[in-house]
Chains A and B, each alone.
Chain A
Amino acid sequence: EPEVTQTPSHQVTQMGQEVILRCVPISNHLYFYWYRQILGQKVEFLVSFYNNEISEKSEIFDDQFSVERPDGSNFTLKIRSTKLEDSAMYFCASRGPVPANTGELFFGEGSRLTVL
């Protein structure tokens, strides 16, 4: 069964450093997402991406964050200058070529980011 894969599984970084989290969505999917989950809290939407551009983003997704799909298979989340509060599990998800308002989100296993 196809899966969304994420790397790294865990990254520890110093405050102020740049971090890139990588995701390989399911190959025939068209919609891509990043979510984060601070320990013990809800899954929070960051950004959605469709047709090579951001389609929606939340208030969390400020200028420190950016996303790219550099080569047609990878989908990356970059945090330019990490803060302590960026420590969380970051989930990538993808959704198939279905009409809006339907469709299962397939999540990756997550990348745990620890900012020291």
Chain B
Amino acid sequence: GENVEQHPSTLSVQEGDSAVIKCTYSDSASNYFPWYKQELGKRPQLIIDIRSNVGEKKDQRIAVTLNKTAKHFSLHITETQPEDSAVYFCAASVTGNQFYFGTGTSLTVIP
């Protein structure tokens, strides 16, 4: 089955700096890659997603890039704010049915 690796497991940045989280996947058939944000004690919520026919997608301060050849995708958060502090999970889906999640990155934005 699909294996999704995520790095780093923890990340601390100063407010205003950028944060980058990277994921790799193993199944070249995966074609949908969402990112979820989970605040402490709350449910995971989708923040951005990308499909395999697109190399990059941006939504305000958040962007995701996908390199299908290398089988990796990354989340970029610019101008970080304290409210960006959370655990971020990447995921990959082949069938759109079973989503394989990464191990999570705990992001701390230091004011």
Residues of A within 8 A of B (CB): 4, 31, 33, 35, 41-45, 48, 50, 55-56, 58, 91, 99-105, 107-110
Contacts and interface: CB of A to CB of B under 8 A. Distances in A.
Interface stretch (B14-22, B37-45, B57-65, B74-82): B37-45
A102 B102 contact: no
Nearest to B89: A43
Contacts of B7: none
Contacts of B69: none
A100 B44 contact: no
Interface string B90-102: 0001111111111
A4 B46 CA distance: 14
Contact of A104 (B42, B46, B51): B46
A102 B44 contact: no
Contacts of B32: 101-102
Contacts of B49: 104
Given A42-B89, A100-B96, A102-B96, 4 more contacts: A101-B31, A101-B32, A101-B95, A109-B43
Given A101-B31, A101-B32, A91 B96 contact: no
5 contacts: A33-B99, A45-B101, A55-B97, A101-B31, A101-B95
* Interface residues on chain B, size class: 20 to 34
A42 B96 contact: no
A112 to B, nearest CB: 10
Contact of B93 (A35, A99, A101, A108): A101
B107 to A, nearest CB: 15
A42 B102 contact: yes
B96 A45 contact: no
B44 A91 contact: yes
A62 B20 CA distance: 37
A102 B51 contact: yes
Given A42-B89, A42-B104, A108 B43 contact: yes
Contacts of A48: 97-98
Contacts of B100: 45
B89 A91 contact: no
A99 B44 contact: no
